[in-house]
């Protein structure tokens, strides 16, 4: 968080504190539990408006972190390379950043780093398909999973194509079996080219904007409800 944002949050906290202590509550209202609860909710909502407003502004002016979709292909399965080519074209057509990991029996590597270049994806994947040789050994899931680690914080979906069987505890697990691969287990989601999900990537600032408007709407709604119902807070009688 930048120094400007921290300064704005500190200023808002000071202003909120001044608003709270400008007059002693017990001198203005008959301090019942209902009154104290109402004031506490107003303080929290005002605090939320300031904090979420600053975080919204801070994230909006920064470039969003790039999201990555990964296709992990069974290196020894030519059919998997064909499906990887099709899957990548579907995601790239929607403007997603897609990378390709080739996994073998002993190691895995990034054949195509995350890219939005459809032409590059088509050429490189087609070249890998032409050079692919059918092999009987199954790919090593652990090695492929380690290859994904550099992009772990940016991954929003991973499509495994081929003879993968990572088990029930896997995350981001979309499975497209090929070359006699096992059916999905645990949390795996079986997909095809027609049912390939298209992730909707929401920027972080959108969540802060939603929270800002929720706090602001509740704060205004409390004032409107209090005005319409005519149930004013019980003021303390002057001595």
Contact assessment for residue 168 and residue 185, using Cβ atoms and an 8 Å cutoff:
yes
Residue 235 inside a domain? The answer is no
Pick the most confident of 16-20, 30-34, 212-216. 212-216
Instruction: Say whether pLDDT at 239 is over 50.
Output: no
Residue 50 inside a domain? The answer is yes
- pLDDT bracket for residue 238 (50, 70, 90): very low
- Residue numbers of the domain that contains 214: 3-62+204-229
Rounded Cα–Cα distance for residues 40 and 230 (Å): 20
- pLDDT bracket for residue 24 (50, 70, 90): low
pLDDT at 215: 92
* Residue 182 sits in the same domain as residue 75: yes
Residue 7 inside a domain? The answer is yes
Lowest mean pLDDT of 104-118, 159-173, 187-201, name the range. Answer: 159-173
Q: Do the strands 155-162 and 173-177 form a parallel or antiparallel pair, or are they unpaired? A: parallel
Instruction: Say whether pLDDT at 178 is over 70.
Output: yes
Residue 234 inside a domain? The answer is no
Please state the rounded mean pLDDT for residues 183-189: 66
Residue 199 inside a domain? The answer is no
Angle (deg, nearest 10), helices 118-131 and 78-93: 180
* Residue 55 sits in the same domain as residue 74: no
Domain total in the chain: 2
Instruction: Say whether pLDDT at 235 is over 80.
Output: no
* Residue 176 sits in the same domain as residue 89: yes
How long a stretch of residues is the chain?
A: 239
Instruction: Say whether pLDDT at 25 is over 50.
Output: yes
């Amino acid at each position: 968080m930048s120094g400007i944002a921290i300064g704005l949050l500190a200023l808002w906290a000071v202003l909120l504190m001044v608003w709270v202590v400008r007059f002693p509550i017990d001198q203005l209202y008959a301090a019942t539990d209902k009154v104290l609860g109402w004031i506490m909710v107003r303080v929290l909502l005002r605090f939320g408006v300031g904090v979420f407003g600053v975080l919204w502004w801070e994230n909006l002016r920064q470039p969003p972190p790039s999201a990555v979709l990964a296709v992990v292909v069974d290196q020894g399965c030519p059919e998997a390379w064909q499906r990887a080519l099709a899957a990548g074209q579907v995601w790239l057509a929607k403007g997603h950043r897609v990378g390709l990991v080739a996994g073998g029996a002993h190691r895995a590597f990034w054949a195509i780093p995350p890219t939005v270049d459809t032409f590059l994806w088509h050429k490189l994947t087609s070249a890998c398909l032409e050079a692919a040789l059918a092999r009987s050994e199954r790919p090593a899931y652990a090695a492929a999973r380690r290859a994904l680690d550099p992009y772990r914080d940016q991954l929003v979906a991973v499509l495994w194509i081929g003879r993968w069987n990572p088990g029930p505890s896997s995350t981001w697990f979309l499975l497209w079996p090929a070359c006699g691969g096992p059916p999905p287990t645990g949390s795996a989601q079986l997909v095809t080219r027609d049912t390939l999900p298209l992730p909707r990537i929401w920027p972080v600032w959108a969540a802060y904007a939603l929270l800002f408007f929720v706090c602001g709407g509740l704060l205004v709604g409390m004032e409107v409800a209090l005005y319409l119902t005519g149930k004013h807070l019980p003021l303390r009688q002057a001595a």
